[in-house]
Chains A and B, each alone.
Chain A
Amino acid sequence: MINKKHTISVLVENHAGVLSRISGLFARRGFNIHSLAVGITENPTISRITIVAEGDDYTLEQIAKQLNKLVDVIKLRSVKNEELLSRELLLIKINCTPAQRPELIAIAEISEAKISDVSQTTMTLELSANQMRISAFEELLKPYGIKEAARTGVIALQKGANSLTG
């Protein structure tokens, strides 16, 4: 069977221990997680967990069914990538001498990234985009020397008028 990436939006009760139940489930059933991002929703008693997981059809069906069995999981939806509006935030600190600043400012501008911090030897950029653009941006900065980088993991909403609410 063919492995593919899927994005699963999960609405869960917003209380302690829920994330551990979800991550524990993935670990003990041997499901692979690419990224996982959690945050509160428009309803403060509900959090949304966005999971990017990889597997064949059988595995993805099992992931959804096993997640649904958790009492703390209110609703979930697995959405094909082309139907998703997905974003990830990248913070990246690169080596940058004062002489290199103009080039990097130009790269930031072309990539629609923001300059968040500058020091004598470094520049920190931030970019919110889909995963593909984030990766391309990282590639572009590699030659300068990446000191450190942090990515949030993907968050996503379905395109169009459909919504997942508790």
Chain B
Amino acid sequence: MSNRMIAAKALVKCLELEHISTVFGYPGAAVCPLYDELSRSSIEHILVRHEANAGHAASGMARISGKPAVCCATSGPGALNLITAIATAYMDSIPIIAITGQVCTDQIGKDVFQEADITGAAEPFVKHSYLIKDAEALPDTVKKAFYIAATGRPGPVLIDVPFDIQSAEIEFNDDDYSKTVDIRGYKPGTVGNKLQIKRVIEAISEAKRPLICAGGGLFSKNSFRLMIKMAEHCDIPVVNTMMGISTIPSEHPLYHGMIGMHGQKVANRAMNECDLLLLLGARVNDRAVLALESRELKVVHVDIDPAEIGKNLPATIPVVGDIKVVLKQILEQLPQKKHTEWNNELKKQTADNRSSSPAPVDRTSAVNPKSFLKILNRLIPSDSVIVADVGQNQIWTANNIALSGGGRFLTSGGMGTMGYSVPAAIGAKKAAPHREVIAICGDGSFQMQMMELATAIQHGINIKVIIMKNNRLGMVRELQTERYNDNLTAVFLDGSPDFIKIAAAYGINGDYLTDEKEADKALITLLASKKPYILQVEVNESAVSLI
């Protein structure tokens, strides 16, 4: 039976067949055929206020749902605005599908209105990209794009669709949406090499001071559960990278916090004193791991991406494979072990650290971020999603947020993109409407994304925003104080508006918090709100990242 339709309609049908229920985007002339079809589909379109935020929202959604999420923009500037979000997703291995409009095929290369070579411009930041030149190939391309984004090491895939292609008639039947994908240049491996698995088990059995460093890769198919099982089975302490926060409940007796230049002393000490480091789904970023090479240390590196193994740190035992499969393989044969002495050393330090009170700051007009986050920890539901932005707020949150099992921490870890938290929270909330989703940002980063309050209100997305306000670009201020002789320049946010009034203008309630003693009350109100809510927390301008 013949089933003719325009390619834009087929594209929407493909998205429906991929179980996409939400698309974040911003229309323009070059994507009008797609938007026309989208309006008649089962898919909800969330109109963001800047294209980058469509990408960040898709990223937030993908991280919570574990499946690719879709963002959409028009040709030229619309597509170019998406690049930061695509690059942010690429650095953190988040599967998003970016669909962009493009000028008509016969006009490509002529520098016509709103033309940009987006597949070329985005090339360094995509897992793969397609410029569609044959309308009939569109459905198959969409299938491949979803497959590439979701499998192996996840990442963003861009599909650039010229205007005339969107309007061209093609034959499309749901059944034709091929069920299996075969790409000859793309065959991600999943199973770990048996010999290497055997070596890992031997290494764990021989180790006196083993340590697991948990990375963001462990969120893939909830593999973190197997990691916890392995840690408990062999009594191995666990630290994590920033991307790995919330792979293990914060109160877990084997957990010792985040590593790296902004991490916990005890976590870094564990990294430096262990004799076997099990890097699980972590890519050894420069901010996370420094100078481990100089000492005797066995490194087991498990990653789905062979290129990450040995890139930043030589691995004694490299294991390429799907982390879930590899952990299963290891657990099948792993004998139990105890490391009482090694654990006791670390536990003592962690306990001291957890019970220590934060350094006193002037309480009359400012809130100590550490104390504030401790109160937040006490009040939030255990399955909350906390999205930290970038800057001091990110470090405060990363080090002090305590999420028990089921909670999730999100942030732009690799790229460090300011303005990520609010749109990512919007995406996360769409993926998990019943969970509490809280964005924590600074007054600098908030002003890169406050237009998205309109998106939240317009589409009834009940996110909460906490602004840690210190009237400074705090992270840069701190750097200038420490390294540039306190020459503070270009870090003052003097022109900022009253954020609670701004929120009110959007029809969003909010409150100011200047006294720590009021924090409980303020947070209870925030959490009780059935609509978006903003809390502005006054923080001392001289507060440091590591508190």
Q: Which residues of A contact B (CB under 8 A)?
A: 12-13, 16-17, 20-21, 24, 28, 58, 61-62, 65-66, 68-75, 166
> Does B184 have its Cβ within 8 Å of any Cβ on chain A?
yes
Q: Check B185–A74 contact: CB distance below 8 A.
A: yes
> Does B131 have its Cβ within 8 Å of any Cβ on chain A?
yes
| 22 chain-A/chain-B pairs, Cβ below 8 angstroms | A12-B185, A13-B185, A17-B119, A17-B131, A21-B123, A24-B123, A28-B124, A58-B310, A61-B310, A68-B306, A69-B305, A69-B307, A70-B185, A71-B127, A71-B183, A71-B186, A72-B185, A73-B185, A74-B184, A74-B185, A75-B185, A166-B184
Give the complex CA separation of A73 and B307 in angstroms: 15
Closest residue on chain B to residue A74 by CB atoms: B185
Task: Give chain B nearest CB distance to A57 CB in angstroms.
Answer: 10
Q: Contacting A71 at CB < 8 Å: which of B124, B128, B306, B311?
A: B128
> Does B148 have its Cβ within 8 Å of any Cβ on chain A?
yes
Asked if A65 meets B306 with Cβ closer than 8 Å, knowing A17-B131, A24-B123, the reply is yes
Q: Check A71–B185 contact: CB distance below 8 A.
A: yes
Give the complex CA separation of A7 and B546 in angstroms: 49
Task: Give chain A nearest CB distance to B183 CB in angstroms.
Answer: 6
Q: Check A68–B307 contact: CB distance below 8 A.
A: yes
Q: Check B185–A20 contact: CB distance below 8 A.
A: no
Task: Give chain B nearest CB distance to A93 CB in angstroms.
Answer: 33
Task: Give chain B nearest CB distance to A63 CB in angstroms.
Answer: 10
Task: Give chain A nearest CB distance to B109 CB in angstroms.
Answer: 11
Give the complex CA separation of A58 and B311 in angstroms: 8
> Does B120 have its Cβ within 8 Å of any Cβ on chain A?
yes
Within 8 Å CB of B307, what residues of A?
62, 65-66, 68-69
Give the complex CA separation of A16 and B148 in angstroms: 19
Give the complex CA separation of A12 and B183 in angstroms: 12
Contact indicator per residue, chain B 110-153, by CB within 8 Å of chain A (1) or not (0): 00000000011001100110010000000000000000100000
Give the complex CA separation of A13 and B120 in angstroms: 17
Q: Check A71–B123 contact: CB distance below 8 A.
A: no
Closest residue on chain A to residue B152 by CB atoms: A69
Known A58-B310, A66-B307, A69-B307; further 17 A-B contacts with Cβ < 8 A: A13-B185, A16-B131, A17-B119, A17-B120, A17-B131, A24-B123, A62-B307, A62-B311, A65-B307, A69-B305, A70-B128, A71-B128, A71-B148, A71-B183, A72-B185, A75-B185, A166-B184
Contact indicator per residue, chain B 297-336, by CB within 8 Å of chain A (1) or not (0): 0000000011100110000000000000000000000000
Give the complex CA separation of A17 and B307 in angstroms: 23
Give the complex CA separation of A58 and B127 in angstroms: 23
Give the complex CA separation of A20 and B185 in angstroms: 17
Give the complex CA separation of A69 and B148 in angstroms: 11
Give the complex CA separation of A83 and B101 in angstroms: 48
Within 8 Å CB of B184, what residues of A?
74, 166
Closest residue on chain B to residue A12 by CB atoms: B185
Q: Contacting A24 at CB < 8 Å: which of B124, B186, B305, B310?
A: B124
Within 8 Å CB of A73, what residues of B?
185
Within 8 Å CB of A72, what residues of B?
185
Q: Check A20–B120 contact: CB distance below 8 A.
A: yes
Give the complex CA separation of A138 and B310 in angstroms: 42
Closest residue on chain B to residue A29 by CB atoms: B124
Give the complex CA separation of A20 and B131 in angstroms: 14
List the 6 shortest-distance A-B pairs measured between CB atoms, nearest first.
A65-B307, A71-B128, A74-B185, A71-B186, A74-B184, A71-B185
Within 8 Å CB of A24, what residues of B?
123-124
Give the complex CA separation of A27 and B88 in angstroms: 21
Task: Give chain B nearest CB distance to A46 CB in angstroms.
Answer: 9
Give the complex CA separation of A115 and B183 in angstroms: 46
Closest residue on chain B to residue A28 by CB atoms: B124
Within 8 Å CB of B186, what residues of A?
71
Task: Give chain B nearest CB distance to A99 CB in angstroms.
Answer: 51
Closest residue on chain B to residue A65 by CB atoms: B307
Within 8 Å CB of A75, what residues of B?
185
Task: Give chain B nearest CB distance to A53 CB in angstroms.
Answer: 16
Within 8 Å CB of B311, what residues of A?
62, 65
Within 8 Å CB of A28, what residues of B?
124
Within 8 Å CB of A21, what residues of B?
123
Task: Give chain A nearest CB distance to B438 CB in angstroms.
Answer: 35
Closest residue on chain B to residue A45 by CB atoms: B184
Give the complex CA separation of A52 and B86 in angstroms: 32
Give the complex CA separation of A65 and B127 in angstroms: 14
Within 8 Å CB of A74, what residues of B?
184-185
Give the complex CA separation of A20 and B148 in angstroms: 20
Give the complex CA separation of A28 and B87 in angstroms: 14
Give the complex CA separation of A72 and B307 in angstroms: 16
Task: Give chain B nearest CB distance to A59 CB in angstroms.
Answer: 11
Give the complex CA separation of A2 and B123 in angstroms: 31
Give the complex CA separation of A1 and B471 in angstroms: 49
Give the complex CA separation of A79 and B183 in angstroms: 25
Task: Give chain A nearest CB distance to B138 CB in angstroms.
Answer: 16
Give the complex CA separation of A70 and B213 in angstroms: 28
Give the complex CA separation of A166 and B183 in angstroms: 12
